[in-house]
Structure 1
Amino acid sequence: MFSPLIYSPQPIYNVSLPSGGDPLKIDVNAQYAGLEWNYIYIVFCGFIVWLIIPGIGLLYSGLARRKSALALLFQSLMIVAVTTFQWMFWGYSLAYARDGGPFFGNLKNFGLKNVMAAPSPGSDVLPEIVFCFYQLLFCACTVMIVVGGAFERGNMLPSLVFSFCWATAVYCPVAYWTWNSNGWLYNLPSLDFAGGGPVHIASGWSALAYALVLGKRKHLDETTHGKPHNTTLVFLGTTLIWFGWFGFNGGSALNASVRAMLAAFNTNTAACMGVLGWVLVDSTKNRGKFSVVGACEGAIAGLVGITPAAGFVSVWLAAVIGFLTSIICAMLQDVNKWLRIDEGMDVFKLHGIGGMAGAFLTGIFASRSIAALDGATEAAGGIDGNGIQVGKQFAEICAISAYSFTVSVCLLVVMKWIPIPCMSLRVHEEAEMIGLDRTQFVDEQIGERAILDDLFASSSPASASVVVNESPGSVVGSKVLKG
């Protein structure tokens, strides 16, 4: 294989200078002379990946009932704050330390010690601080997906504590298995370009665990809810997620190669085919009627499905993966009812099931000629005659599913029995009925609740006034408001 950096000497990691050199004595930038375009590209990808986090917050907020919408917006900012601290504290070291066993990292980079100008463990053309920042955003996005399992009845403070613990006990080990050169899945090898396992399968099963331990919402009228309170927010959140995913998949080549550009093209292709697949199923079920929320779910299903395959398949096969993944997820719309679990954000359906479908299809469609577009990677799937790769993908699916679900349940059960009132995983029944916005934020007279309602209310002045002044049990006409 030829080097992707044929025109420039490739930086080499020096064990004796783990930080990349003393900037008071040498120019630490000199080793990347002529290669700056690689890390500029990855930094840009990181910036747009960040948009996925508020995008998920907007999506969740739109899907929830109005009385808990603000809580989900607030949580998106808190999650990225807590996860950043966790990553700086020990998360990065646990996931990407250069030496360790096949299952877990170590604390040699505790507190980001020596994480600065040396070539990164993921790519020699990236300073380690750039690689660390980019991977931080993957962790934050994943944690934000997970907390969707607690919507409308999860207490805010315990969810943040759980986020810190989950990132430590679940995300970091699974990321280590998958992407660290010492990890057992990396050396199996399983093929996961951008996070089908650590991001989607892990978050889907963990959100299911969260919903299971919390139990179903109380006083939920399924005839009036189960539908988003604000479709515009759902649409806006989806577009931010879609845009951010260009950086998520496009940057996962960890260089500005042709492979990275193809991954971005595949991302858009799979999302578009996901929309078509989901709308096809929806319109068939609903006698030709369409659904904006369904189209948004289809886009996300397509994005999830292509994540592990984006740098391994051609554009047309990316279209097949996006279409098939969305069809599978759309056909399983009642999975929560079958499981008898109240996971109202459909995290398990879209990310868990979609992630498993994408990982499996990657094993079938991965192509040597596509993987080699970065000048270095060797990988092949069933389409190239390497049928055993499908079995390796299945091993990845089973291992990550079992580990993430089991550890998440254990973490949540331990937290559930902590005898501290403010650490109760679930809000009180009265707070759930009133809504998280009114019980966990400043008094509505200060304006946050009223502002939210003004933005989300319909254009009718009458309906807007009803929203602002609603309270559980209030009677409007002959109907009782239920949120």
Structure 2
Amino acid sequence: MRILAFLVLSASAVIAQSTSSSATSPVDSGDVSWVLISSALVFIMVPGLGLFYSGLAETKNSLAMLLVVMLAFAVVAVQWALFGYSLAFSDTSVSTFVGNFRYGALLDTMETQHPNAPTIPGSLYSMYQMMFAAITPALFVGATAGRMRILPTIVFVFMWTTVVYDPICYWVWAPNGWLHNLNVMDYAGGSVVHVSSGATAFVLALLVGKRVDYGKRDYHNHNPTFVYIGTGFNGGSSVAANSRGVNAAYASNLAACIGGLVWMGLDTLINRKKFSAIGFCTGAVAGLATITPGSGYVQPGIGLIFGILASVVCFYAVKLMHYLHVDDSLDVAAVHGVGGALGLVLTGVFAQYSVTDVDVTGATAGWLDHVWVQVPVQLAAIAAVGVWSAVWSITFVLAINLIPGLKMRCNAEAELRGMDFADVGENAYPFVEYGKLKNDDLGQE
């Protein structure tokens, strides 16, 4: 009896201790591990994007593209720690438009949990979201590859992240954001990441201007292998090791696979190419950009529909940009901007309660479940994010160009010799001699 009593008391103490521990610290080690891994996967996407853009660029600009993507990451990481995270994800701000400085310098993020991620430390949630904040401006720099100087680009990135990205992030994902209150469905950044960067890419392509030899010669992607290595995405926005994370990863994978196949087929049939590796990778990225807003809200198999439509629509969006003579060097607006907007609309159509109700309370759905207001809400998000991004991007380009020494466009000689030579001072391939000019090659400034 004494042994039995001892066992009962011991078990009671363990249960009490466990209950007390869970009450004071709801952190789940499995969720922490999953989000740490997901954060690492998104970080890998940053040099991956650099390789993707470097491979698409010409040899003379390859190292500059690698560098500017990593510089954008570094600048945004510092901004995010100082005040960006607090502006974008404050859960104490009464504003529906932007956050406050409650978590400036990441204060109190280790001891608290964000309402969006109640089972992991706030610091980990901040780090995970920082990866998205850092890769978003890295997307739009591809629109002006080979002709936009690095220093003013980094100034633009800092200003853009503060005034454009952080408020948009708050609108969509913060507990009191106005689009969040309208029940906009953007699981992993169709509006926050892709529409915002696509609209900005379009503005930059127009305002910075065409390459000096645009339309006079063909541009050649210098390293398709880099493009292949840099193609990828992740499914960690569930911020928990749960079925929604599995769903998002699976739907994203299917959208990428079918997107790559369809784009390669269109390249073969319409552009009369062979089985293009770059075409496949571009289609995969279009599929990923399009499934981004819906990956956690639609059945995994619906990812195939997203991927097919993504490739067809974005493929012809690229053609439209060329027809309009908009020199978006790496087709950022047509792939990311159009893909993100398309994905938001498709999410409003295909989202279902059978998916959105999993691991979430108070979820909504789309037209398949007769929620007819959802597509108009999605369209409102596209319009608001697109206009906000474009207007501020125009403002920043005009302002930066007025500052001595910060003119965004390089001169014709630097452009023709390459940004590796002009801005970096190093060559990606030092054993290759390039960048020599004749006087009649310079064109007009």
Q: TM-score, normalising length from structure 1?
A: 0.84
Unaligned segments of structure 1, at least 5 residues: 1-7, 10-25, 443-447, 455-466
Deviation at 1:329, TM superposition (A): 0.6
Post-superposition Cα deviations, 1:339-360, rounded to whole Å, max 9, x if no partner, equal: 3321111000001000110000
Whole-angstrom CA distance in 2 between matches of 1:364 and 1:342: 33
User: How does 1:308-347 map onto structure 2 within 5 Å?
Assistant: 308-347=293-332
Aligned with 2:363 (options 378, 385, 391)? 378
1:268 to 253, 257, 278: 253
* Matched residue, 1:75: 68
Which one-letter code corresponds to 1:158 in the other structure? P
Number of the residue aligned with 1:229: 222
Please list the CA deviations of residues 303-358 of structure 1 after superposition, one character each: whole Å capped at 9, or x if unmatched. 00100000111122111111111111112222223333211110000010001100
Specify the alignment match of 2:433 in structure 1: 468
Alpha-carbon distance between aligned partners in 1 of 2:203 and 2:97, rounded to the nearest angstrom: 22
CA distance in 2, matches of 1:384, 1:203: 31
Call closer, same or farther: CA 1:377–1:327 in 2, change over 3 Å.
Answer: farther
Instruction: Give the deviation of 1:287 after TM superposition.
Output: 4.4
Please state if 1:424 is matched with 2:401.
Answer: no
Counterpart-to-counterpart distance in 1, 2:62 and 2:439 = 20
Cα deviation, 1:283-306, whole Å, max 9, x if unaligned, reads 221447321111111000000010
CA apart distance, 1:191:
0.4
Residues 38-437 of structure 1: pairs in structure 2 closer than 5 A:
38-98=31-91, 99-220=93-214, 222-225=216-219, 227-238=220-231, 242=232, 245-246=233-234, 250-287=235-272, 289-376=274-361, 378-418=363-403, 420-421=404-405, 423-437=406-420
- For structure 2, list consecutive stretches of 5 or more residues without a partner in the other structure: 1-14
Indicate the RMSD between aligned Cα atoms, in angstroms.
Answer: 2.4
In the alignment, the residues of structure 1 paired with residue 103 and residue 395 of structure 2 have an alpha-carbon distance, to the nearest angstrom, of 27
Whole-angstrom distance in 2 between the partners of 1:114 and 1:29: 18
- CA distance in structure 1 between the partners assigned to 2:442 and 2:144 by the alignment: 23
Partners of 1:135 and 1:82 lie apart in 2 by 15
Sequence identity of aligned pairs in percent? 35
**Hey, what's the Cα distance between the residues in 1 that align with 2:272 and 2:434?**
38
Aligned amino acid, residue 296 of structure 1 = C
- 1:281/1:331 contact within 8 Å kept: no
CA-to-partner distance for each residue in 1:213-259, whole Å, 9 max, x for gaps?
1111113454321x312211111222xxx1xx22xxx2111111111
Structure 1 residue 441: Cα displacement = 2.4
Contact 2:190/2:292 (8 A) holds in 1: yes
CA distance in 2, matches of 1:184, 1:114: 25
Give 1:166 deviation, angstroms: 0.5
2:418–2:435 contact (8 Å) kept in structure 1:
no
Give me the whole-angstrom Cα distance separating, in 2, the residues matched to 1:470 and 1:413. 30
What is residue 19 of structure 1 aligned with on the other side?
A: none
> 1: CA distance between counterparts of 2:72 and 2:99?
23
What SS does the corresponding residue of 1:51 show, helix, strand or coil? helix
Counterpart of 1:459 in structure 2 is none
Aligned residue identity for 2:188: A
**Counterpart contact for 1:470–1:481, Cα < 8 Å:** no
Change (3 A) 1:470 1:426: closer
Equivalent residue number for residue 14 of structure 1 = none
Displacement of 1:481 = 12
The verdict on how the C-alpha distance between 1:109 and 1:332 changes in structure 2, with shifts beyond 3 A counting, is same
Question: In structure 2, what is the Cα distance between the partners aligned to 1:125 and 1:104?
Answer: 24
2:329 and 2:411 mapped to 1: Cα distance?
19
Give the secondary structure class of the aligned counterpart of 2:384.
Answer: helix
Contact 2:365 2:371 in 1 (8 A): yes
Asked if the contact 1:197/1:355 (under 8 Å) is kept, the reply is yes
1:453, CA displacement in angstroms? 4.8
> Displacement of 1:27 after TM fit?
8.9
Aligned residues: 426
Separation (CA, whole Å) in 1 of partners of 2:398 and 2:21: 51
Mark the CA change 1:470 to 1:166 in structure 2 (over 3 Å): closer, same or farther.
closer
Partner of 2:11: none
State the distance in 2 between where 1:85 and 1:103 align.
23
**Matched AA of 2:213:** H
Note closer, same or farther for the CA distance 1:331–1:28 as it changes in structure 2 (3 Å cut): same
Is the contact made by 2:413 and 2:442 (CA closer than 8 Å) also made in structure 1? Answer: no
On the 8 A contact 1:145/1:203 being kept in 2, the answer is: yes
- Rounded to whole Å, the distance in 2 between the matches of 1:469 and 1:49 is 34
Cα distance between partner residues in 1 of 2:437 and 2:284: 35
Q: 8 Å contact 1:28–1:117 — kept in the other structure?
A: no
CA distance in 2, matches of 1:139, 1:106: 17
In the alignment, is the contact (CA less than 8 A) between 2:298 and 2:355 conserved in 1?
Answer: yes
**What letter matches 1:452 in structure 2?**
Y
Structure 1 residue matching 2:318: 3-state secondary structure: coil
The offset of 1:29, in angstroms, is 11
Per the TM alignment, residue 469 of structure 1 is displaced from its structure 2 partner at its CA by 5.0
CA distance, structure 2, for counterparts of residue 27 and residue 407 of structure 1: 47
